[in-house]
């Protein structure tokens, strides 16, 4: 990547694995450095931030003195336990990284690193230098009973325990130089100084319990089709983004990673979007993970409760604990990945009006009721109130699915999802024989359909457009057949699909929209191709009966995964990852496309019907 400025270790977005414990996650680079870690929760301040600056922003590095070694990363099968391996003429070594899931109740996250030399002999260098509060707090290292404590004013004390002697350097880092021969091991635990489980005698039990947890969880998947390894890895990535405490699923594990190198589109995705609700419930239920789908649905219910069950107060996104405030802030102390600044935390989009969220929310509720528990009486009362609101507000302008920060517009996708909201409420009400103002809702549903066909169809161009009376396209239009608004083989839809292919698709990679023709996008620079849209495109091709094309495009997309099977938010011109990683929506779209395409290629129809 010639356009990527050098960092301390040239760690690229795609050269990372992820480990986690359902409370927070850490990124482990191909050189075995942990260069991104928020503690104690996923949306807490980072303590390792080297990925967004230099190693001075926080790093936990561990490497042999083998500069020419080949490096590999792989997960232990059916798990989120990661191994980084060094293969050298002088020997073979590996470090196994995981975050324990080996007890119930309240827990403090910790990272366990188990280093072993399998062949030969190697001299290793260790440096652990966390920097509290997004690298803003002056963190000091102090040797204490063979362990190193890391302290900063007003911050929790962190600790590194090790099976080899540790020292401190420059007053801020734990360091070590040591030699291991074939068959010898070293172990390290990083976590809270208050955690009594920072115990080197218990690492084997934690390892076995964690491996057992992940494999049991994987074994509950009902998916038996093609691409099982990729589907399973996507499910495992989604599970890592899931909060065991709250049931929410983060949009991604990271903040601040750029959608364009050197640009300003650097957002914080450590929150949960209502928009992802239907995709989440759909994907989890397809794979047989009914418990996770139910927990996520309950989290959505708490979000509605925190918005006082007032439809006009429903937000685009919420904190992982269902809190409503996500104030946006820039971190000028971090230079940004590849110089991409500003680095942002929080996300001001939570204040935006985005009408599509009613449709995604209602579709999720419909699916949860179809395959899970029936809706409660009180829950249905809230839905009636919400759908009445949609009947009143569907014709407004808004910021749209892509969270435009310019002047609000009439967006096709927002209009479409208002139709979905009313349609699914009508279907659910009829299925459960629930009281509702059927005639009023049905009229509104019809009015929205007529509005879309009248004002978002361009007869001159012969296809739908992304804005009212407009001429442009955007990839959210790919959801029209996926949400069953239009038939997947309808000639007018096929014309629209072909227009999207001609204008937004390059070798199967789909851009969200053309930035130069989108006045609502007021940010400078551009962005990469959007990974989730690329998988939506595959599913649209498959539903249109273009199976050979869909199959080939899907295989190409899978080849763009990193070596561990993980996807970030976007792709650059050469298919390298951009944006926050791993991205939940991308993996959700992959699961959906794989599920449908597999059934089509197998000659069976999908199980789901609206």
Which string of DSSP letters, residue by residue, matches 560-605?
Answer: TS-TTS---SEE-TTS-EESSSSBHHHHHHHHHHHHHHHHHHHT--
Based on the domain organization, do 390 and 496 belong to the same domain? Answer: yes
pLDDT at 106: 60
Report pLDDT for 2: 33
The last residue of one of the domains, among 194, 217, 240, is 217
Shared domain for 200 and 283, answered yes or no, is: no
Same domain, 191 and 235: no
CA–CA separation, 84 and 28 (whole Å)? 9
Question: Which regions in the chain score pLDDT beneath 70?
Answer: 1-10, 103-106, 516-517, 519, 605-610
Query: What pLDDT score was predicted for residue 1?
Result: 35
Q: What is the CATH number of the domain that holds 547?
A: 1.50.10.10
CATH number at residue 104: 2.70.98.50
Same domain, yes or no: 212 and 226 = no
pLDDT of residue 473: 96
Read off the pLDDT of residues 257-302 as tens digits, 9 standing for 90 and up.
999 999 999 999 999 999 888 889 889 988 999 899 889 988 998 9
**Angstrom distance (rounded) from CA 563 to CA 12:** 13
Q: How far apart, in whole angstroms, are the C-alpha atoms of residue 395 and residue 549?
A: 37
Q: Going by C-beta distance under 8 Å and a sequence separation of 6 or more, which residues neighbour residue 459?
A: none
Residue 451, domain member (yes or no): yes
* 255 and 192, same domain (yes or no): no
Evaluate whether residue 10 is within a structural domain: no
- Per-residue model confidence as pLDDT tens digits over 114-146: 999 999 999 999 999 999 999 999 999 999 999
- Whole-model pTM? 0.95
pLDDT of residue 192: 97
Backbone angles phi, psi at 345, to 5 degrees: -125, 155
Regarding whether 272 and 129 lie in a shared domain, the answer is: no
Tell whether 248 and 165 lie within a shared domain.
Answer: no
Q: What pLDDT, on the 0 to 100 scale, is given for residue 517? A: 67
Domain shared by 57 and 113, yes or no: yes
In a domain? residue 389: yes
- 93 in the same domain as 137: yes
Residue 542 pLDDT: 97
103 φ, ψ to 5°?
-160, 165
Query: 176, 201, 217: which is the final residue of a domain?
Result: 217
DSSP per-residue codes, 361-381: HHHHHHHHHHHSPPPPHHHHH
Judge whether 9 lies within some domain.
Answer: no
Range of the domain at 38: 16-217
Residue 396 lies in a domain: yes
| Domain presence at residue 2 | no
Within 10 angstroms of residue 450's Cβ, the number of other Cβ atoms is 10
- Predicted confidence at residue 526, as pLDDT, reads 78
Q: What are the DSSP E strand ranges found in 477-584?
A: 505-506, 509-510, 529-530, 570-571, 577-578
- Give the residue carrying structure tokens 């296809």: 463
Write down which residue in 217, 234, 265 finishes a domain.
217
- Beta carbons within 10 angstroms of residue 119's beta carbon: 14
What does the DSSP 8-state code read for residue 338? Answer: G
162: left (phi over 0), alpha (psi -120 to 50) or beta: beta
Element (H, E) at 127: strand 111-129
Quote the number of domains for the chain: 2
Same domain, 278 and 292: yes
The pLDDT of residue 229 is 97
The sign of the CA dihedral 14, 320, 307, 610 is positive
Token digits for 497? 């699909």
Nearest-angstrom CA–CA distance, 166 and 175:
6
């Amino acid at each position: 990547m010639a356009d990527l400025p050098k960092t301390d270790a040239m760690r690229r977005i795609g050269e990372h694995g992820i480990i986690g414990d359902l409370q927070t996650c850490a990124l482990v680079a191909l050189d075995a450095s942990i260069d991104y870690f928020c503690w104690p929760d996923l949306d807490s301040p980072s303590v390792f931030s080297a990925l967004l600056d230099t190693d001075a922003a926080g790093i936990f590095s561990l490497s042999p003195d083998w500069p020419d070694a080949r490096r590999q990363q792989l997960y232990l099968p059916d798990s989120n336990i990661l191994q980084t391996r060094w293969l050298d003429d002088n020997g073979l070594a590996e470090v196994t990284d995981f975050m324990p899931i080996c007890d119930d109740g309240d827990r403090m996250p910790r990272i366990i690193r188990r280093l072993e030399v399998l062949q030969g002999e190697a001299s290793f260098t260790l440096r652990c230098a966390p920097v509290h509060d997004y690298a803003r707090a002056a963190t000091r290292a102090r040797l204490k009973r063979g362990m190193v404590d890391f302290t900063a004013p007003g911050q929790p004390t962190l600790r590194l325990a090790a099976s080899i002697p540790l020292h401190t350097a420059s007053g801020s880092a734990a360091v070590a130089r040591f030699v291991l021969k074939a068959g010898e091991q070293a172990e390290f635990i990083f976590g809270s100084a208050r955690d009594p489980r920072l115990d080197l005698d218990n690492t084997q039990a934690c390892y076995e319990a964690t491996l057992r947890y992940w494999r049991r969880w994987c074994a509950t998947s009902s998916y038996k089709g093609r691409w099982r390894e990729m589907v399973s890895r996507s499910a495992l990535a989604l599970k890592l983004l899931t909060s065991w405490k709250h049931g929410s699923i983060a949009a991604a594990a990271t903040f601040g990673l750029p959608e364009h190198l050197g640009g300003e589109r650097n957002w914080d995705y450590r929150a949960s979007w209502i928009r992802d609700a239907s995709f989440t419930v759909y994907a989890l239920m397809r794979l047989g993970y009914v418990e996770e789908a139910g927990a996520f649905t309950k989290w959505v219910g708490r979000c509605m409760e925190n918005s006082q069950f007032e439809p006009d107060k429903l937000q685009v996104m919420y904190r992982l604990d269902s809190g409503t405030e996500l104030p946006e802030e820039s971190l000028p102390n971090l230079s940004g990945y590849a110089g991409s600044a500003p680095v942002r935390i929080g996300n001001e989009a939570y204040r935006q009006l985005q009408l599509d969220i009613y449709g995604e929310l209602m579709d999720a509720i419909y699916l949860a009721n179809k395959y899970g528990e029936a809706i409660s009486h009180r829950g249905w009362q809230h839905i009636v109130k919400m759908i009445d609101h949609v009947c009143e507000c569907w014709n407004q302008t808004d910021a749209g699915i892509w969270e435009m920060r310019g002047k609000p517009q009439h967006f096709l996708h927002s209009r479409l999802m208002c139709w979905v909201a009313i349609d699914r409420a009508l279907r659910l009400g009829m299925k459960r024989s629930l009281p509702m103002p059927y005639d009023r809702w049905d009229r509104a549903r019809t009015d929205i359909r007529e509005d879309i066909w009248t004002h978002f169809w361009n007869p001159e161009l012969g296809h739908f457009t992304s804005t009212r009376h407009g001429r442009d396209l955007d990839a959210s239009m790919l959801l029209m057949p996926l949400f069953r608004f239009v038939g997947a083989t309808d000639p007018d839809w096929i014309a629209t699909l072909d227009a999207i292919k001609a204008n937004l698709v390059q070798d199967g990679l789909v851009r969200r929209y053309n930035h130069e023709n989108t006045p609502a996008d007021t940010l400078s620079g551009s962005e990469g191709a959007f990974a989730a849209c690329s998988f939506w495109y595959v599913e649209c091709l498959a539903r249109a009966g273009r199976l050979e094309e869909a199959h080939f495009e899907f295989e190409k997309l899978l080849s763009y995964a990193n070596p561990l099977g993980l996807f970030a938010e976007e792709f650059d011109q050469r298919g390298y990852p951009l944006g926050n990683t791993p991205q939940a929506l991308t993996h959700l779209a992959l699961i959906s496309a794989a599920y449908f395409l597999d059934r089509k290629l197998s000659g069976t129809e999908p199980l789901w019907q609206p």
